Amino acid sequence: MRLDVHNLGEPIPAESLSDMFDPLKRLPRTGPRPRPSTGGSVTVASSREAGTTVTVRLPKKPSAGGQPRN
């Protein structure tokens, strides 16, 4: 499953993009951190011209243990 969220507001500074989801860093106005155990991914692209797009990808299948991933 894929979810895209797009916003035309102020862009996220380029130097902050690579650290945005680093659990050891705290950046202003960031949301919940992704959980690596889900097997999904979160990516962010941001520019003044195109705005900011956050893409969340989650697996369609449950984990190897047969339990759905939260």
CA dist., res. 17 & res. 50, Å (int): 15
Sequence-distant (≥ 6) Cβ neighbours of residue 42 within 8 angstroms: 21, 34, 54, 55, 56, 57
Which pLDDT value is given to residue 49?
Answer: 92
Contact 10, 40 (CB under 8 A): no
Q: Look at residue 47 and give its three-state secondary structure.
A: strand
CA dist., res. 3 & res. 44, Å (int): 12
Q: Would you say residue 62 has pLDDT above 80?
A: no
pLDDT tens digits for range 22-44: 766 655 655 555 555 667 888 89
